[in-house]
Structure 1
Amino acid sequence: MICWSAENVMAFFSGSCLLDGEVLRPLSHVRSNWELMPDIGGLYEIEEDSFAGMLNSLVSEIAATTPPSDYHSYENSVAAYMNLVRDETYTLRKGRWRYAADGRTLSVHELTYMLEQASCDSNDIPDLVLAAAGRVRAALKFEQHHYDEMEGGHRIMLAALLTIILFRRSDNQGGLC
């Protein structure tokens, strides 16, 4: 097991081959420069029309967070808000979000949409930051030293959380909502 520390979290995200494509490319309609360049003195080089600076700040914030062991509860708290707005279209059963009408499990993309929509009223979603920290903690616990080494499903969900956080924070800066 790798211990939680700011250094280990920074190393977890540094020099990734997948992070920019999975986290920043979906935001290329907001800022077109989605490819990350490693920075000798830190995580990623800050460039014009890029989320690199915001991503560096978010990674530092995650590194300074006390990660929860039950990160799903933080994701679920945000998703539950969306469920209330949608007149309880979804239900949480056996740890999975499902359609209330027929019990089908939501796909990762549907759950991501649910989280993104639920976060629309806010430019900063602390529960999503905690969920992201919890997912990083779980990866480190299972000897996944780097973002690129994460199990695929967990990596996709972490990428979605980071994308949503960056998008909502960019909303505040540029008035996207």
Structure 2
Amino acid sequence: MDQVNAVREMLRITDQESNTALHEAAGCGNVEVVKALLEFEDPDFPYSANKKQETPFYIAARRRGSGRLLTLLLDKFKSTSHGGPHGRTALHAAAMAGDAEAIRVILKKKGNLTKERDEDGCTPLHYAAHLGGRFSVVEELLKRDVSAAYIGDKKKGMTPLLMAARQRNA
């Protein structure tokens, strides 16, 4: 048990930006390294955010094609911290990345994030509508909770539909 504790302690060492090895591996999208790092980690350990306010889960979500990586993290940890900068969640990050698969993976375990608002009052659907081009992302979010379409942001009261119309993506 002392060896396992020593390995866990080593895995939790941070750099000057407060990144652990898991933050870095998630940022590179390296599934095999993440899998190896998680092998010895305690499922109850709450990985904290780095200096940019990004958790490993948030970092993984902002990468396109991160579904497998997100599944690994969600399956390992009992409580996955999903926060990011400006009050955003991993679901916001996946919507900004335009990754419908990541959205499906996140919503499977964290379905309550669809109405989460960031500091500007924007939901993940706002970002999906604003960035446009990926209707599958909008569709996945609306399938989970259509009422998110009626939430206005804090600045102008813009709903996701109004944002999409303004971007000519409606």
TM-score over 0.5 (shorter chain): no
Kindly name which structure, 1 or 2, has the bigger radius of gyration based on alpha carbons: 2
Q: Which band: TM-score by shorter chain? A: under 0.3
TM-score w.r.t. length of structure 2: 0.24
Structure (1/2) with the larger strand percentage: 1
Q: Which has the higher contact order (CA 8 A, sep 6+)?
A: 1
